[in-house]
Structure 1
């Protein structure tokens, strides 16, 4: 009985090995990116990009930026229409070497969220010792003209004070207030007002 069992087990193992030895590896077509496992693209799709494929031609021609906001082949502002809304939102009326800062309604203190921008502007002045800057204070249209001229001056003075504390010489900084006289966005909506409560930085 024991011998018979051993014979059956040996026969099963032998037949399994013979079966496996007779199987050849399956040929797998390389991945084509068309999602169906076939190595050939159907004729009607041969001139079209396939699903899951990203090509350089499909991406918008936008210049890449490095950590400083400078493009790999020059300033982000190069080639931009200075009258476009995108340019105005990015730079206000500031020289492209600088960025504008924004203020809360009826306030002249530099907001906490604007400090990185002030550091960016200060770093440019520090790294280019011969440069000078004009800070232009602006307000939205609410309030009297006289009040807004004074508010714009306080806003410009706040930015000047920050730059001086940053280490920029007083002699390299001038200020002027335009109050409500030069709105960048002429509308009366909340966003237009917020964009107009601004200091611009002009390289001299």
Structure 2
């Protein structure tokens, strides 16, 4: 009579012997294959990046300018962001006919009203900085988006830090907004 008590130890021994027998086998070496490039499919593309001259750059900022990032609950431009402001002023000086809309943004923490006010203070601070760097007020307008135009929907400091910024957008209607006095001091 064949019982489960007898079958279980036999199965374990057979399994152990089978596995032990496999450990002595050596892997078969595989020769590397050389691919003839003339037989590849498709067109060979350069791995060098092609610089864009228009469109959106970092954040939602127009290519050629740089966004400015802020510390939590602050509208003062950090010292490490001043070179970005200088680069933006340089761009505007080289492109003397462009008007720029400065868009103040916040991370999602805080109330809608608080973040709208903070975004406006950030945009106005950047506007004042550009004016001190020689850009005329008539070429600058400001708008606050508060937390309404997040770049990242994450809930961590890395994403929040990317959302605390001013974007600089070349805008044909910026001088019109400036003349109407929208969001200006």
TM over 0.5: yes
In 2: Cα distance, 1:46 partner to 1:143 partner: 57
Q: Name the TM-score, length of structure 2 as normaliser.
A: 0.65
**Residues 45/138 of structure 1: CA separation in 2 closer, same or farther (3 Å cut):** closer
2:162 corresponding residue in structure 1: 195
1:133 corresponding residue in structure 2: 100
2:47 corresponding residue in structure 1: 60
**Residues 62/158 of structure 1: CA separation in 2 closer, same or farther (3 Å cut):** same
1:4 corresponding residue in structure 2: none
Structure 1, unaligned runs of 5 or more: 1-43, 49-56, 64-70, 83-89
Structure 2, unaligned runs of 5 or more: 1-32, 38-43, 172-185
Pairwise CA RMSD of aligned residues?
Answer: 2.2
2:132 corresponding residue in structure 1: 165
In 2: Cα distance, 1:62 partner to 1:96 partner: 15
Residue among 39, 50, 65 paired with 1:98: 65
2:74 corresponding residue in structure 1: 107
In 2: Cα distance, 1:45 partner to 1:195 partner: 45
Instruction: Establish whether residue 143 from structure 1 lines up as the match of residue 143 from structure 2.
Output: no
**Residues 45/188 of structure 1: CA separation in 2 closer, same or farther (3 Å cut):** closer
In 1: Cα distance, 2:64 partner to 2:34 partner: 47
In 2: Cα distance, 1:150 partner to 1:46 partner: 61
**Residues 61/170 of structure 1: CA separation in 2 closer, same or farther (3 Å cut):** same
Secondary structure in structure 2 of the residue aligned to 1:106: coil
Q: Name the TM-score, length of structure 1 as normaliser.
A: 0.60
Secondary structure in structure 2 of the residue aligned to 1:187: coil
Secondary structure in structure 1 of the residue aligned to 2:116: helix
1:186 corresponding residue in structure 2: 153
Q: Which runs of 4+ in 1 moved over 4 A?
A: 44-48
Secondary structure in structure 2 of the residue aligned to 1:113: helix
In 1: Cα distance, 2:106 partner to 2:35 partner: 58
Q: Give the CA deviation at 1:59.
A: 7.1
**Residues 189/130 of structure 1: CA separation in 2 closer, same or farther (3 Å cut):** same
In 1: Cα distance, 2:36 partner to 2:82 partner: 51
